[in-house]
Structure 1
Amino acid sequence: MTAEASQAGPPAGPAADGLRPLRIALLTYKGNPFCGGQGVYVRHLSRELARLGHHVEVIGAQPYPVLDEGYDGLSLTELPSLDLYRQPDPFRTPGRDEYRDWIDALEVATMWTGGFPEPLTFSLRARRHLRARRGDFDVVHDNQTLGYGLLGDVGAPLVTTIHHPITVDRQLELDAAEGWQRRFSVKRWYGFTRMQKRVARRLPSVLTVSGTSRQEIVDHLGVRPDRIHVVHVGADTDLFSPDPAVPQVPGRIVTTSSADVPLKGLVFLVEALAKVRTEHPDAHLVVVGKRPTEGPVAQAVQRYGLEGAVEFVKGISDAELVDLVRSAQVACVPSLYEGFSLPAAEAMATGTPLVATTGGAIPEVAGRDGETCLAVPPGDAGALAAGLGRLLGDADLRTRLGTAGRERVLRHFTWARAAEGTAARYREEIARSAGPERRSAAGSEQRRVAGPERRRLAARLDRPALQTPGHSPAALDQVPSPGSERSAGPRPGVDRTVALSRPALDRPAAPSLGPLAEEATAGGVSQAVTVSGKSSGSPAEGATAGAPGGVSPSPTPTPAPPEATPTRTTGVYRESRTTC
């Protein structure tokens, strides 16, 4: 379904909680489940919300979300961008006939100057679309766009998911960058994080996926703790389940990782494999991700002579992925940091024993060392090797940890539980926004930002270089009617009122991280690789920086295509299984 989405009403009858079904707009600027964890989140959450009886309209840009079929009340609306990072020509220059409005011009100008425009430009397109369809939705749920366009009135109460602050990724990649040019390129690429900080502080209701991410959002983004709610995500436990008919391959270790992203710690796992093979010669590694042609992982594979012991697979289906994990004797999550770690939950759901680091929120998912997994410090190849070797050599331990791991996932990490918790937060925000104190606060906010700072930003967005022929400032204030989104010729622009952030709020006392985070801490497990200046467990020298949106920042501020194009979305859980 395109932006001319049908105006279907909500499902008939009550929702699973006995209340009126909600009409939900679920926004995602990168929604394909094979391009990163944000797409996985959208796919499974939308399905489970529809199962509860709600009407869910997913509104996304390229690569478009892939939704499960056969569910009443679940639909997709395509909100097209210029798709500047598509394969096989990322960082492309669009033809003149592709420009539709000033937002397209802004998108290209940001890319040309080394930035990543999609969070901002998608938010502006989404704002225009939502305002044109005022009254169609009970709640708007933003999946970590955090763009200026979603501030102010979007036609319904706003709930936002922040998986973890992208500032964490930015700092880790700066730590791995060599030379001032590379550091400049990384800083420019991650320039959108300044916008995300400003927007996050203004949000009325934030959902996040772990207690660790909650604390990171407070520390890095300055969001008030009382506005942040933890709703754990989960694994598809029907799909990711044990199957005795799938034979285990002796010595097989499986990981879902990205070779170009220092945060994922794959170089340490390759080094650990070399150590393990001295005692377990049949040990070999299967990486769900793209084979690197250069960089620290490729160098490590060559240095240790592991060309025949490390296999990279991509483009596999969900069923093939599940069977691959089932066939492994050990699954591994070597990340330096994760905001949640879907690969850990999915591996545990299959009954495959797990070796995982204690980076970020991984202990919340994997549980205590020796009970549901083997936990090791992040960035420590020796500790990884010891854990892998211990499991490969002990069949009883593999069975015990595999069984306990699946039981933990079934108790805490299912998509049905995630949907129930999310729907409850929707209703709370709808009720809160309907109160008289909310209307008073909203008016105060509008007055607070209606000063010179707001006018300066509006003037910047109106500059001639970002306008296309036939688009006067007056035309930009027009709101298109539904169904005009993909009409031929230039389209009317978005409402240019872009609210700015308030000054940083005084931070209240740190909140409780939640029972699972506290359980991990009580078990003596390190909670995070905290990024403040240099990270502990920093990436190996020479590691190349990755980037959000399925691409790497170009080596200079110009948009020249990189030699190797990564296939991931930063700040999410799962690496891609095919090129986006």
Structure 2
Amino acid sequence: MNSQASPTLMSQTSVAYDAPLRIALLGYRSAPHSGGQGIYLKYLSRSLVRRGHFVTVISGPPYPELDADVTLVRLPSLDLYEHGLKSIRPRQLLSRLERIEWFSKLTGGFAEPFTFGERVKQWFVGRESEFDIIHDNQTISDGILALQHRGLPLVTTIHHPITKDYRVALAAEPRWYMRLLIHRWHGFLRMQKRIAPQLRSVVTVSGASATDISDDFNVDRSAISVMHLGVDTELFRPLPEKKREPHRLMTTASADAPLKGLSVLLHAIASLRSDYPDIRLTLVGRPRPGGDTEKLIGSLGLGELVQCYKGISHQEMVEKYADASIAVVPSLYEGFGLPAIEAMACGVPLVSSDGGALAEVVEDAGLVVPAGDSQGLADAIRRLFEDDNLRTDVASRGLSRVEQHFCWNRCAERMEAYYRERIAAC
């Protein structure tokens, strides 16, 4: 941070325990319809405002969709993963951060966590006294750590360490040159592994993630607090007026990310096809043209059985859940597993792997099978296809579990208490 800036920090006694807090939520990439970061910012900010707090979301592109009473500060970047290397103009390379982004993309890297952190650090110069707490969502960068060094109360959410994605991607890729690109893209992990142990206040979304963060990022377990996520039950809900298709499955996955286990599900469907010729899969996500997933769908002869949807709204997703007889979460690893609780909230019987936190999240509210086991997945799907009573029972248990454990208001209530502890301790 600019050494000439002289922040006027709020004294710890100036924030009464029941006074509204001024909260800055940070997200380097906050797409509203894909990935969990934009969803996390949208619903946490909404729930905190409903509790009477003032929330400002500071985000890089793609920007989140927020309620009107949440302030959005846009910190533009080159956003080269959306626009491509040829989208820039020569004058843009006059900026150090934009040069870093351009060169990193050119060489297969991912610089956004670093560059966003630097922009945030600059943005806060002269604004330090405007907020009571800063809450970073997974950036874990030098610029964000600088705010903590300035004496500003900082909380960091780490959903899970991306080291998990890195190892699964490497294990799934036999070609040496692609493994080199995977290694290059994950270069930001060196920064995150260096920064994370220095963070004083880390929040994560499951006990499984807490263990992984402690192991992979060398964060002291006492610095990590677990707070489960919630689901918007006003939106994700059963639609009893819609008739479910008897053998339609639904999954939501980044289609070419090995971590999501889509290949495991595709092999399971291939093994079930002879017994259930009308089996179909609704895939929220679209395979990369010519990529491994598209090739696998072709080699298994599943082209006519898989319908892909990308960029659909949450309401459209709820309608897709209402069409499905079973929802499947086949992930090899999840730090939490939002698709699991969204499916349960929609009253769809769930089959889930036990990857990462999924067994912790689902418990007995779904049929849980070992991660990576396509035959186990097929057997669980078959059980539900063949047993109407079991489908009804699993769906009912899923709804009950969501109502009892995965409420955004409860998450915001716990987060508020945690903020006040961190403010008092700063």
Q: Tell me the TM-score normalised to structure 1 length.
A: 0.69
Residue 405 of structure 1 corresponds to 398
Match of 1:280 in 2: 276
| 2:155 match | 159
Per-residue deviation, 1:114:
2.4
Distance 1:300 1:185 in 2: 22
Can you give the 5+ residue segments of structure 2 that lack an aligned partner in the other structure?
A: 1-14
Partner Cα distance (2:378, 2:30) in 1: 35
For structure 1, which segment, 154-163 or 317-326, has the greater mean C-alpha deviation from structure 2 after superposition? 154-163
CA offsets per residue over residues 461-513 of structure 1, 9 Å max, x none? xxxxxxxxxxxxxxxxxxxxxxxxxxxxxxxxxxxxxxxxxxxxxxxxxxxxx
Q: Aligned residue for 1:374?
A: 367
Question: Corresponding residue for 1:108?
Answer: 102
Aligned residues: 410
Query: 1:52 and 1:100, CA in 2 relative to 1: closer, same or farther beyond 3 A?
Result: farther
Cα distance in structure 1, aligned partners of 2:287 and 2:175 = 25
CA contact (8 A) 1:280 1:389 kept: no
- Retained in 2: the 8 A contact 1:134–1:155? no
**Deviation string, structure 1 residues 200-252 (Cα, Å, up to 9, x no partner):** 00001000000000000000000001100001002111111112112111211
After superposition, the C-alpha distances for 1:541-574 in whole angstroms (9 at most, x for unaligned) are: xxxxxxxxxxxxxxxxxxxxxxxxxxxxxxxxxx
Distance 1:302 1:101 in 2: 45
In the alignment, the residues of structure 2 paired with residue 60 and residue 100 of structure 1 have an alpha-carbon distance, to the nearest angstrom, of 22
**Moved beyond 4 Å, runs of 4+:** none
In structure 2, C-alpha distance between the alignment counterparts of 1:40 and 1:252, rounded to whole Å:
26
Name the counterpart of 1:391: 384
Match of 2:9 in 1: none
**Do structure 1's residue 36 and structure 2's residue 32 form an aligned pair?**
no
Distance 2:18 2:114 in 1: 35
C-alpha separation in 1, matches of 2:133 and 2:189: 25
Deviation at 1:155, TM superposition (A): 6.2
Q: What does residue 523 of structure 1 align with?
A: none
Q: Pick from 191, 202, 205 the counterpart of residue 198 of structure 2.
A: 202
1:131: Cα distance to partner?
Answer: 2.2
Q: CA 1:104–1:295 in 2, change beyond 3 Å: closer, same or farther?
A: closer
Whether the aligned pair in 1 keeps the contact of 2:136 and 2:156 (CA below 8 Å) is yes
TM-score when scaled to structure 2? 0.93
Residues 1:110 and 1:300: Cα distance change in structure 2 (over 3 Å) = closer
Aligned in 2, Cα 1:118/1:177: closer, same or farther, shift over 3 Å? same
Mapped partners of 1:56, 1:246: distance in 2: 38
Residue identity opposite 1:374 in structure 2: L
Aligned equivalents of 1:227, 1:24: Cα separation in 2: 21
Aligned partner of 1:446 in structure 2 is: none
Aligned to 1:123: 117
Conserved in 2, the CA contact under 8 Å of 1:135 and 1:155?
no
- 1:421-466 Cα distance to aligned partner (Å, 9 max, x none): 1111111110111xxxxxxxxxxxxxxxxxxxxxxxxxxxxxxxxx
SS in 2 for 1:131: coil
* 1:125 partner amino acid: R
The Cα shift of 1:402 comes to: 0.3
Alignment correspondent of 2:60: 61
1:304: Cα distance to partner? 2.5
Query: For 2:307 and 2:75, how far apart are their aligned partners in 1?
Result: 37
Matched residue type, 2:73: T
Could you tell me how far 1:100 is from its partner in structure 2? Answer: 5.4
Counting only pairs closer than 5 Å after superposition, residues 335-374 of structure 1 correspond to structure 2 as 335-368=331-364, 372-374=365-367
Matched, 1:184 2:180: yes
Can you list the C-alpha shifts for 1:509-545, whole angstroms capped at 9, x where unaligned? Answer: xxxxxxxxxxxxxxxxxxxxxxxxxxxxxxxxxxxxx
Amino acid at match of 2:64: P
Query: Identity rate of aligned residues, in percent?
Result: 46
Q: How far is 1:127 from its partner?
A: 0.6
Q: Distance in 2 between matches of 1:263 and 1:207?
A: 22
Instruction: Report the AA paired with residue 42 of structure 2.
Output: R
1:341 and 1:388 mapped to 2: Cα distance? 19
Shift of 1:60: 0.4
Instruction: Quote the offset at 1:110 in angstroms.
Output: 2.4
Distance 2:133 2:17 in 1: 18
In structure 2, which of residues 416, 421, 426 is the aligned counterpart of residue 428 of structure 1? 421
Q: Is the 8 A contact 1:131 1:155 kept in 2?
A: no
* Unmatched 5+ stretches in structure 1: 1-14, 434-580
Q: Output the amino acid matched with 1:278.
A: S
CA distance in 2, matches of 1:181, 1:100: 32
